[in-house]
Chains A and B, each alone.
Chain A
Amino acid sequence: MSVRMGEEQKQYQEFLKSRQPAKHWLKNSIRAFFAGGIICLIGQGIQETFVHFYHMSEQMAGNPTVAILIFLSALFTGIGVYDVFARYAGAGSAVPVTGFANAIASAALEHKSEGYITGIGTNMFKVAGPVIVYGVVAAFFVGLVRYVFTNF
């Protein structure tokens, strides 16, 4: 089926295009860069604190650093600050581990009214679930390939 566009339709299409928001990918990327960079900077600060004041090795400090970032993210999601930040920062808020925690906390909050089991429990991993599923599957096969290559 072919639709012939008359002059009027063409004009209307152009009018529509002019009214739609242009894709500000460059502006968004700059925002994501600074927001994500700052979160990593904060992470580095927390990590250095563990290294210098609790005498942990760099590697040991990684885990508690992630735990603190996740705590802060869940807290800021709860008081509604993280979502405001996310609207500005885009992927700068989603890509760091704080975004993973935000996905879990906000899904849990959103479905709280459906109850603790069927609401919070069922929906908590609605967005973050695929990350764990495919992360684990990929890690298994990557590990398997490396295991085979190093042992046979």
Chain B
Amino acid sequence: MSGVGIFIMAFLVGGFICVIGQLMFDLTKLTPAHVMTILVVAGAVLEGFGLYDPLVRFAGAGATVPITSFGNALVHGAMAEAKQYGILGLITGIFEVTSAGISSAIIFGFLSAAVFRPRG
């Protein structure tokens, strides 16, 4: 999908995934850590069935920005390396795609804590 359509789909699909998270907050006693963990595992399992990639093609950032895409990307990296190097690739490839997210979260998280003062 391209043009304006992809923006609309990104908004709708991204918003919808957040509603799923919100309902888990409000209707169960799960903590944010639980909800985020469940969503990541759900993303990994969905990609296990080959369902997450079509969603990315359909919704763009609506599928790649929510944390579910982290699970999807972990599976992706593992599968790509496993295809190339055999079963050990599952281990070596897991962080292949998600490296950008984790590295930048650590670096910018650290810098944020180093520069700013905690409040409250």
Measuring CB to CB, which residues of chain A are less than 8 angstroms from any residue of chain B?
Answer: 23-25, 28-29, 31-41, 43-47, 58, 62-67, 69-71, 73-75, 77-80, 83, 90-92, 94-101, 103-105, 108-110, 112-113, 116, 120, 124, 127-128, 130-132, 134-136, 138-140, 142-147
Contact = CB atoms under 8 A, between A and B. Distances in A.
Contacts of A36: 14-15, 17-19, 21, 66
Interface residues of B, number: 75
A9 to B, nearest CB: 25
Contacts, number: 269
Interface string B1-19: 0000011001111111111
A131 B66 contact: no
B107 to A, nearest CB: 9
- Shortest 4 CB-CB contacts between residues of A and residues of B: A40-B14, A36-B18, A37-B15, A139-B74
Interface of B: 6-7, 10-27, 32-37, 39-41, 43-45, 47-48, 60-62, 64-67, 69-71, 74-75, 77-79, 82, 87, 90-91, 94-95, 97, 100-102, 104-106, 108-120
